[in-house]
Amino acid sequence: MLNTLSVETEATHIPESVTVSIAGLEAGATIHAKDVPLPEGTTLATDPDAIVIQVLAPQAEEAPAEGAEGAEA
C-alpha cells in the first residue's frame, strides 16, 4: 500500500494533501491511486492500479480471562 502519491503539476500548484472518502465502503474494499480525486491541472505519476486504501473489518480485542489477575493459591 502507498503512503504517498507521485503527481505531475506546475510547481506553484502542488497539492499539500488530498482527501479520500471511505463512506459507504465495506470491509475488503480497496481504493486505487486512479480513484483518488486530484486537483485540476494535476496528473497521477504513480501506478494507477496501486492500492492506496484497503478497508479492514474491525478487530475485537480479547478480554483477559476471569480470575487471571489477582488469583492466588
Q: What is the pTM of this model?
A: 0.71
Residue 67's pLDDT band (cuts 50, 70, 90): low
CA–CA separation, 28 and 62 (whole Å): 22
For cell 479492514, name the residue: 56
Domains and CATH numbers, the chain: 7-54 (2.170.120.20)
Q: For 13-29, what is each residue's pLDDT tens digit?
A: 999 999 999 999 999 99
